[in-house]
Structure 1
């Protein structure tokens, strides 16, 4: 995806989020020069631009989504459209990459995916992590934003360690305030990544931890918004109940589930049998569990 600002061109139909990116790039280019080595820019300014790029990417996705109509489409038609979209995106990315080679300084971040560009800036900040001048909160914001970008790109396995690192830094900073809202919000994001990564065990574990932290915050009368915390607790407990019910339900509807799962794990088969029956096991599992490509806003 490319967007508005390229030297000497006019822009049309620019979203507010895109305008923020363009203004920041103009400001930074004026401050540091058009040929600046990006790694020499102050980390907090790189983070500001990375955040703006992420928000621009979100706004672009919302516009492309066009509401909830996709949920009503036929699965086969949806899959075909996704394949066409991925092919188009690959072609656009190749064109963007070629265009990027001719750009210098901050202008390179107007070409390509806003999420990928945001991650590129965040990687530069991470490379300075051993610098004592970087405080824990700034680094926590860096890893948290990296997790957000990975989540939007559906790189769930990359999002998880990013959120975990952000949480470690937050817990170091708020070591005397374990129920701080920033910490519980961080765990909420980690749970979101775990859910899409289909890591049910850790998803359930951290849901329980969030519930304990919020209950503790309420008991200690540290809630900034008591009603919000109470509503959140109800939602989280419902999510936890859903996990338990779904685990029971699949075994009630499909008594063969445990046997199939054990076969898939190789517990009932010898090494030779595993190889010979792998396709059958996969077919058995796919008939029970239908996966749908995750979507999130």
Structure 2
């Protein structure tokens, strides 16, 4: 209390000056029409700027939500398009059976929207951090995609964040993919360098396809459903042993401008993993006998 009194006593002349200035300003603008109109106009201009900034901020937040919704919609539309291709290809067969199979498949997974908070594209082993984690339903070995195609596979998970092994990871990423509507499959591998180009290896020599055709996820693993875009075939090479093809693929995902992604949660992963482990245990038991 004494310190406060000492402060007031020491600076009392400045406090009186400020008080008198405030009183004079109030009297000036209150009892003079011209000054009052100037104040009113200026206040409106300032308020207008504030409201404009608020509107832009609200629009930005709405845009972020819209991007998230568009990402989800693109994924679903890609799945629906894949379904239509299958139905068209099987038009001479029992199309209702194919449709039932596809609908049953779609019910096995859900999409968890997330945003990229950290990303790299020029390292040999690129990783991505997203803002969803264990409490949001994300678990290791779940696939991650965006509206344009595959992104990577969840590696580490905390309560609120996850680290994703990017498809641009030369050491750890091998995603099973196939030539759309052809059935021939291989494994996507990135060798470094250009972040828009990767290669699909181990495509069988008897495979028939054309340049410009799409590579999509094969659905053979428990990570990605079938039909998620990977990229377009640009060139074809022979493998080093001459027994298969290596395809140069222009990736559909722009990893340098990655913002909104979805984590693909497959409800049947645990069941398939348990079945696979049971098969391994059975084989191991028989080998020991």
Give your verdict on TM over 0.5. no
- Higher RCO (C-alpha 8 Å, min separation 6): 2
Structure number with higher strand proportion: 2
| Structure label with greater radius of gyration | 2
Category of TM-score, reference length = shorter chain: under 0.3
